[in-house]
Amino acid sequence: MCVAGLSALKVPLHAGLTGSLADSVSACGSPSAEPSAQPSATPSANSCAPTSVAQLGDSIASGEGTLYGYTYNSETQRWDGPATPNPAWIGQYPLCHDSPDAYGVKVAEALNATAPLSQFACTGASYLNGITEPETELAPDGTSIQDRPAELGPPGGPFNPVFTAAAPDVVLVTFGADDVQFTKVVQSCVLSENENPGLSGPVAGTSCLPCLQATGRRACVPGGDVFQRDFTDELPKLNTYYGQLVDAIDAAAAPAAPPLIVFTDYMNPFPAQGQCPDTSPLTTDQIKFLSMELGVLNGDVKADVTRCGKAVPVTC
């Protein structure tokens, strides 16, 4: 079974847990206490605390950014740093930027201080490039670099033997933003100087617009194809990825009972109103547009995960 509707970064990375994420996967994973929400395996005879926790996903799951030593300057309202531009990342795959402050570490500790966390997450991971297949990236000279082997492996296997050996009864998952290349969409907003004439509504004047829906790429202004290709065209694929991942995790766990799977969505880093110094390269309209599209991604994650089986929506 899976749990949907959690925002990973609503769990403080440094201050420990303030509640809901750990609570939602304790009590045998049954926030609503409905019989159908019970996972098919109880982690131990005397407690619902898990005996093994695994983490799959992208930079949110790896803890990217938490070891650079940034500090907030209340006078300038900006983040100063990095104090440590080249931190020592944990694990055997340093290009994944796995941190001891990743949310999975904190969740695992809160659920069962003695339960090991098996960290498979990797910065930049998407479903097809990192989770089901090895994660690769291009070096400046154009050669391909492998950041790590597949976190889980493709549907039907072969599965990552390290994952199967961990035999997790709770699996934490965060992915989707890299599948739709959300950072490229933000970058296109920062770099684009187009006026995008003739468009109206919430995307008017943002200078990082999608193509006109009625005509597709023929109406794209320079830069508009980034959103169409990387976000709009990729988002529907997530509809199948989440269900496939649930099936693959269950298959990897066999013949043991399927683990509880907890999916998270993404926090919104943009200001609710206007601008702030950290978003100064973006206009107010761009911020509204990006915030709206992040909401679209989160809504898609929640809807897709809710369809994946015995899903239990949770509000943090």
Residue with tokens 């492998």: 146
Contacts of 85 (CB under 8 A, 6+ apart): 68
- What would the pLDDT profile of 158-171 be if each residue is shown by its tens digit? 999 999 999 999 99
Contacts of 248 (CB under 8 A, 6+ apart): 132, 152, 153, 154, 155, 156, 159
Residues 297/182, Cβ–Cβ less than 8 Å: yes
Q: How many domains does the chain have?
A: 1
The pair of structure tokens assigned to 192 is 């684009």
Average pLDDT, the chain: 77
Lowest mean pLDDT among 53-67, 135-149, 177-191, 215-229: 215-229
Residue 57 maps to a domain: yes
Instruction: Report the distance separating Cα 165 and Cα 54, nearest Å.
Output: 11
Average pLDDT over residues 217-226: 53
Residues β-bridged to residue 253: none
pLDDT-derived band at 12 (thresholds 50, 70, 90) equals very low
Contacts of 136 (CB under 8 A, 6+ apart): 129, 144, 145, 146, 147
Return the SS3 of 235.
helix
Residue 196 maps to a domain: no
Residue 91 maps to a domain: yes
Overall residue count recorded for the chain in this entry: 316
- Is residue 87 packed enough to be buried (19+ CB in 10 Å), middle (13-18) or exposed (0-12)? middle
Quick check: 197 pLDDT over 70? no
What residue type is assigned to position 198 of the chain?
G
Residue 219 maps to a domain: no
- What would the pLDDT profile of 39-48 be if each residue is shown by its tens digit? 333 333 335 6
Residues 4/263, Cβ–Cβ less than 8 Å: yes
What residue type is assigned to position 18 of the chain?
T
Contacts of 133 (CB under 8 A, 6+ apart): 150, 154
Residue 213 maps to a domain: no
The pair of structure tokens assigned to 121 is 């997450």
Residues 122/96, Cβ–Cβ less than 8 Å: yes
What CATH number is associated with residue 148? Answer: 3.40.50
pLDDT of res. 299? 93
State the alpha helices, DSSP H only, in the chain.
20-25, 59-62, 103-111, 161-166, 182-191, 224-227, 238-253, 284-306
Residues 21/13, Cβ–Cβ less than 8 Å: no
Residue 270 maps to a domain: yes
pTM for the full model? 0.79
The pair of structure tokens assigned to 221 is 């202004």
10-45 exposure pattern, b = at least 16 Cβ within 10 A, e = fewer: ebebeeebeebbbebbbebbbbeeeeebbbeeebee
Residue with tokens 């201050």: 15
Average pLDDT over residues 224-252: 86
Quick check: 300 pLDDT over 80? yes
Residue 29 maps to a domain: yes
Residues 55/102, Cβ–Cβ less than 8 Å: yes
Radius of gyration over every alpha carbon of the chain, rounded to an integer in angstroms:
20
* DSSP label of 66: T
Instruction: Report the distance separating Cα 229 and Cα 117, nearest Å.
Output: 36
Domain containing 143 equals 2-180+234-313
Residue 201 maps to a domain: no
Instruction: Report the distance separating Cα 239 and Cα 64, nearest Å.
Output: 26
The pair of structure tokens assigned to 63 is 């803890």
Helices 238-253 and 284-306 pack at an angle, to 10 degrees, of 40
- What would the pLDDT profile of 281-290 be if each residue is shown by its tens digit? 788 888 888 8
